[in-house]
Amino acid sequence: MRLGRGIDMRASARKWIRVGLAGPMAVISALVMMAGMTQWLPGGDAGIDNLVLPLLLVPLLWAGFFFHACLDSRLSRVAILSIGLTMVHAGMVADRFVNSAPGPAQALRP
């Protein structure tokens, strides 16, 4: 009986963790990744690809995070990927703020 309740609780907790990863976490990850991509994407010939591509890709990034959270059977993998990418990109933006005064457009060019 206690074992059964434990399994139920684990299943319920897993369900809510998955909902959290597919719901709010997918939104946060997509938005943070959009901000972070401006730091590592090449600017291209016009020097604007790093600004425009993240804006274009954000709906697809969100869909990627959402469906990965829904379909990957291993929640730990979903969490590691989602949180990992979010942390890395948030770190890039934070590094930009800490190490250089933001502003001039030429600073963006890779």
Partner 1 sequence: MIHLEKEDTKLMVAVHGWSGILLGLLLYAVVITGMAAVFAEEIGIWSAGHVQTSSAFQRPFDRAVRALGERTPEKYHEGVDLFEVGDRNMGVFFHRHETDASGNLVSRGIYYQLDAQGRVASERSGTGEEVFGPRNDDALSSFLVDTHVRLHLPNPWGLLLTGILGLAMLVAAISGLLIHRHLFKDIFTLRRRANPVLVDRDRHSVAGTWSLPFAFLLAFTGSFFSFFGTVGVPIVAMAAFGGDVQALNDAVFGNPRAVDERPVAVGNLDRIAEDSIRRTGEAPTFLSIEHFGRADSQVTSFHLPGEGGLEPATLLYDGATGRFDRAKPSIGTTPSAGGTLAAIMAPIHFGNFAGLLSKAIWFGLGFAMCYVTLTGLRLWLIRRKEAGRSLDWLERIVGAVGFGLPLGLVASAAAFLISMPVGSAVFWTPAAFLVGFGGALVLACTLRSAAMLDRVLQQATGVVLALLPLLRLATGGPGWTQALTVGQPVIVAMDIACILGGGWMVWRLRRLGVSSGRERRAPILQAAE
Residues lying near partner 1 in the complex (CB under 8 A): 31, 34-36, 38-39, 44-56, 58-60, 62-63, 66-67, 70-71, 73, 93, 96-97, 101-105, 108
CA distance 13 to 2: 16
Question: Which residue number, 17 or 39, has a Cβ lying nearer to partner 1?
Answer: 39
Q: How far is the CB of 7 from partner 1 (least distance, A)?
A: 16
With 0-12 / 13-18 / 19 or more C-beta atoms within 10 angstroms meaning exposed / middle / buried, residue 65 is buried
Q: How far is the CB of 75 from partner 1 (least distance, A)?
A: 13
CA distance 78 to 69: 6
